[in-house]
Amino acid sequence: DSGVTQTPKHLITATGQRVTLRCSPRSGDLSVYWYQQSLDQGLQFLIQYYNGEERAKGNILERFSAQQFPDLHSELNLSSLELGDSALYFCASSPRGQLQETQYFGPGTRLLVL
């Protein structure tokens, strides 16, 4: 158990819909990262937050947005969902978001878009 929690574990929805994925980082960690992992694919970095502010942006679609709240939990919003958005979405956290830090991953949210 990494100490990072994600909800929900599974999500099934239809094309065109909007969903929100939630992540709570490890206690004391200020930085949160979001990743997408499609079937048999590597991890694609989406976005990183540090203490409420966006720090780095990866291959995140305009239909996707995220934020980190004052209590440090983070939400990833996916809108106008398409079939290709079906994937595992992981959240990870690290203490200060520094390059050399280990990232601790949550169990993931499995999203299925029908």
| Positive or negative: CA dihedral 55, 56, 61, 62 | positive
Counting contacts by CB under 8 A, is residue 25 touching other proteins? no
Burial 26-46 (b: 16+ CB within 10 A, else e): beebbbbbbbbeeeeeeeebb
Choose, by CB under 8 A, the member of 56, 83, 112, 114 that binds other proteins. Answer: 56
Counting contacts by CB under 8 A, is residue 10 touching other proteins? no
> Considering the complex, what minimum distance in angstroms separates the CB of residue 66 from other proteins?
15
> Considering the complex, what minimum distance in angstroms separates the CB of residue 16 from other proteins?
28
In the block, tokens 């830090």 appear at 101
> Considering the complex, what minimum distance in angstroms separates the CB of residue 63 from other proteins?
20
Counting contacts by CB under 8 A, is residue 39 touching other proteins? no
